[in-house]
Amino acid sequence: MSGEIFSALRQALHEEEAVVSATVVSGELLGAKFLVFEDGRTVGSLGSSELDAAVRADAETFLKSGEAAIRSYHLSDGRNVEVFLEAHLPPRHLVVIGAVHIAIPLVAMAKELGYRTTVIDAREFFATRERFPHADQLIVAWPDEALAQIKITPQTDIVILAHDEKFEDPALHVALRSRAGYIGAIGSRKTSEQRLERLRRAGFSEQELSRIHAPIGIDIGAKTPAEIAVSILAEIIAVRRGRIGQPLRPAKTSPAAVSGDGG
């Protein structure tokens, strides 16, 4: 790996920037390296502007999936080139607005999934180390002010559990203007619709509002704080993987339906 490529990749990892590295693994361009950053910047070259452009286009998929694979490219001059593409993504970052009961198991479970976790609440008697021993960061501040201190990227998932419009609305204003990969807010369908109406009045478009997952979580019949935390994390995973939470097996059928004696 050239000094320029190595230095750029090391800096990206240090600054938690998402980047795809590409290395030619066959043919006369063997060993050529190229970096594609999330913001479109590039470093290096694979020895062909045509190949660089093709890899740059494919890098977007890898930045979303976080995967690695070998891709084959057929160039206009007749050459076939194989390139190993690998995404280097920063850790997922779960930002929880509202240090409520549900947030406690949510943060603990997120840590098990490899998340860096931040809990924000303006009420210092809720956002305590005793309540959140697993949190990487506790911020006692108004949510919108705290979010302004955080680097929000597509690897950031924002969960709003505040149950209070004076906390959640300013936070959503910041979140919707960010590149957060997931934005979810707790509340009933009626509460969620009222929230959307306030945001419409504040000037947000329907496309922007469609980014909000509310009521938050996948419907698994959750009742307890821990169960609700599971449903929230399940939805975040589904969104990240491009799924919609489909069941893994079909619903049970009745004996009558199976036997054909339905009437």
8 Å CB contact between 202 and 173? yes
CA pair distance 190, 136, nearest whole angstrom: 33
The whole-number pLDDT of residue 64 equals 80
Domain extents in the chain: 3-88, 93-241
Q: What pLDDT is stored for residue 90 in this prediction?
A: 86
Question: Whole-prediction pTM value?
Answer: 0.78
Write the pLDDT tens digit of every residue in 176-207: 999 899 999 999 999 999 999 999 999 999 99
- 173-176, long-range: CB within 8 Å, 24+ apart, which pairs? 173/144, 173/199, 173/202, 174/143, 174/144, 174/147, 174/148, 175/147, 176/204, 176/208, 176/209, 176/211, 176/212
d(CA 145, CA 120): 10
Which superfamily does CATH assign the domain made up of 93-241 to?
NAD(P)-binding Rossmann-like Domain (3.40.50.720)
Instruction: Count other C-beta atoms under 10 Å from residue 71's C-beta.
Output: 15
**Residue 124 CB coordination number (10 Å):** 11
pLDDT for res 3: 81
pLDDT at 244: 67
- pLDDT (tens digit per residue) in 25-48: 987 889 999 999 988 899 999 989
Low-confidence ranges of the chain (pLDDT < 70): 1-2, 244-263
